[in-house]
Amino acid sequence: MAVVLDLFAQRVVGFSVSDSPNSTLIAKALQMAYQTRPKPNGVLFHSDQGTHYTSKQFAESVASCHGMVQSMSRKENCWDNAPTERFFRSFKTEWMLKGGYENITEAKQDICDYIWGYYQTVRPHSFNNSLTPLETERRYFNQNLLSGV
Q: How far is CA 142 from CA 40, 43, 123, 137, 146, in A?
A: 19, 22, 21, 8, 6
CATH of the domain at 72: 3.30.420.10
Residue ranges making up the domain that contains 108: 2-147
DSSP 73: P
> pLDDT (tens digit, 9 = 90+) per residue, 26-77?
999 999 999 988 877 888 888 888 888 888 999 999 999 988 888 887 776 6
Other beta carbons within 10 Å of 127: 15
Contact 111, 95 (CB under 8 A): no
Strand (E) or helix (H) holding 45: strand 44-47
Number of domains present in the structure of the chain: 1
pLDDT at 149 over 60: no
